[in-house]
């Protein structure tokens, strides 16, 4: 070293600092790269991605290689800096060299390169893999020995370097990925993807048309009344029953009724022969399961039954699709459902029979959905009785006023979401008259 000039030592020190920066940036870039994008690029046969993927198959070996190189250049840089310091400042030069080299390495070989690598992992890791992959083969014996010691130490904690965390995402993590996609995925498409993820959480009971709202025809009615109902029906499939919905006969398709009419065979007996078999599903069936069953059975409509076999409602394929893509409308203009009417003062008049899940989606509210399915049911659960008119309460932080009571149920409610405030305790509290 005494024969080497000080200028040459400075050049060697600068080279070692650059090498240290290379190893530091490579480590951060490799560990920060998006694994899912990397898999996509590998499928696209991107050469840089393939090299990085090979290195990341055993991260313990990659880290071992990088740290071997990084520590070697840092120790060498420390030795050269000490020699330079002693030449320039004597014995005190050791302290000066230590302080100066620490500052230089932190700024130029650690913080700056690692920050750049964290911001642009692909731009750092792909070119770096050209050097690291041959180096791993060259220094494999040394890397193997060092990893042998470290892996043996990890075994004491029952940790295997071959069994790291899998790259699979949970449903909630995937939901976060969809929302964090930003402008890369349009908002409407994000809602559809999240809707698909939510199918497992939603059951047939959550989206069914309640029993009292099912449009059906009593086959025991007068024949002219049946004809009139069929001709004026707004649905392509109508439920036929005897006296009560519990004695359901089947569904009649409007096309079948028209065919009978065209053949001049439109009679009650022929109508009964044309009905289609009813598909029954339990109310607790998750929507993704119901969708598969509809697909396999080639069905588009079914009746929802409870644990006793009693009919509770009706569910259609369209109802399931609306959970994914949103409500189907005949206009491109944003409109509210018939259960919702926004007043000039910003308050909302809501029908008590409105489904809570639909309200939350339409109005972007956060009413509880674990219990009752309708707003009327939620209010009755809160009061534990049928409340009188003009009584106010706060449910989930939303001030509500009972506007109308009819037929032992809350018919109309006024909601004032502009005064929304999270309640301190419980799900709701009464505000009195």
Mean pLDDT of successive 10-residue segments in the chain (433 residues)?
83 95 94 89 93 90 92 93 90 91 94 95 94 92 87 79 62 79 79 84 90 90 87 88 92 87 83 90 93 93 93 93 74 60 86 87 85 89 90 89 90 77 49 49
Name every residue whose Cβ is closer than 8 Å to that of residue 298 and which is 6 or more positions away in sequence.
none
**105 is written with which tokens?**
């390495």
Give dist(CA 405, CA 15) in Å, integer: 84
pLDDT value for 423: 45
Residue-wise DSSP of 379-396: HHHHHSS-PPTT-EEEET
410 phi and psi, to 5 degrees? -75, 115
Is residue 101 exposed (0-12), middle (13-18) or buried (19+ Cβ within 10 Å)?
buried
pLDDT value for 426: 46
Does an H or E element contain 406, and which?
A: strand 398-406
Give dist(CA 410, CA 403) in Å, integer: 8
pLDDT value for 433: 46
CB 282 within 8 A of CB 204: yes
**179 is written with which tokens?**
């929302």
pTM tops 0.85, yes or no: no
pLDDT value for 68: 92
Give dist(CA 101, CA 259) in Å, integer: 92
Give dist(CA 411, CA 12) in Å, integer: 85
Helix (H, G, I), strand (E, B) or coil at 303: strand
């Amino acid at each position: 070293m005494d024969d080497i000039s000080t200028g040459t030592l400075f050049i060697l020190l600068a080279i070692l600092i650059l090498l240290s920066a290379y190893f530091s940036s490579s480590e951060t870039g490799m560990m920060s790269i998006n694994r899912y994008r990397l898999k996509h690029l590998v499928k696209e046969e991107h050469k840089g991605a393939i090299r990085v993927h090979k290195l990341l198959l055993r991260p313990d070996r990659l880290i071992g290689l990088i740290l071997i190189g990084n520590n070697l250049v840092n120790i060498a840089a420390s030795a050269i800096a000490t020699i330079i310091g002693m030449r320039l400042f004597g014995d005190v030069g050791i302290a000066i060299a230590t302080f100066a080299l620490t500052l230089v390495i932190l700024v130029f070989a650690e913080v700056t390169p690692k920050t750049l690598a964290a911001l642009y992992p692909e731009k750092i890791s792909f070119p770096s893999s050209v050097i690291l992959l041959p180096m791993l083969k060259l220094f494999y014996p040394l890397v193997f020995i060092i990893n042998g010691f470290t892996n043996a130490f990890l075994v004491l904690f029952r940790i295997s370097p071959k069994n790291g965390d899998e790259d699979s995402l949970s449903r909630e993590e995937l939901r976060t990925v969809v929302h964090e996609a930003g402008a890369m995925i349009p908002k409407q498409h994000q809602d559809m993807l999240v809707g698909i993820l939510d199918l497992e959480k939603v059951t047939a009971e959550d989206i069914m048309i309640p029993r009292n709202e099912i449009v059906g025809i009593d086959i025991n009615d007068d024949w002219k009344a049946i004809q009139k109902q069929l001709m004026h029906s707004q649905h392509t499939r109508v439920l036929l029953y005897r006296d009560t919905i519990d004695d359901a006969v089947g569904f009649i398709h409007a096309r079948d009724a028209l065919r009978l009419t065209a053949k001049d065979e439109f009679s009650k007996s022929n109508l009964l022969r044309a009905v289609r078999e009813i598909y029954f599903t339990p109310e607790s069936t998750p929507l993704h399961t119901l969708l598969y069953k509809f697909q396999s059975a080639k069905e588009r409509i079914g009746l929802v039954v409870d644990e006793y076999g009693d009919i509770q409602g009706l569910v259609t394929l369209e109802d399931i699709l609306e959970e994914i893509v949103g409500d189907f409308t005949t206009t491109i203009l944003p409109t509210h459902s018939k259960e919702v009417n926004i007043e000039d003062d910003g308050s909302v008049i809501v029908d008590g029979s409105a489904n809570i899940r639909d309200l939350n989606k339409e109005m972007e509210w956060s009413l509880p959905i674990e219990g009752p399915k309708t707003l009327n049911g939620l209010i009755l659960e809160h009061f534990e009785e049928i409340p009188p008119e003009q009584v106010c309460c706060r449910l989930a932080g939303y001030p509500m006023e009972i506007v109308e009571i009819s037929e032992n149920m809350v018919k109309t409610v006024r909601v004032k979401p502009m005064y929304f405030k999270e309640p301190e305790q419980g799900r709701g509290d009464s505000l009195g008259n």
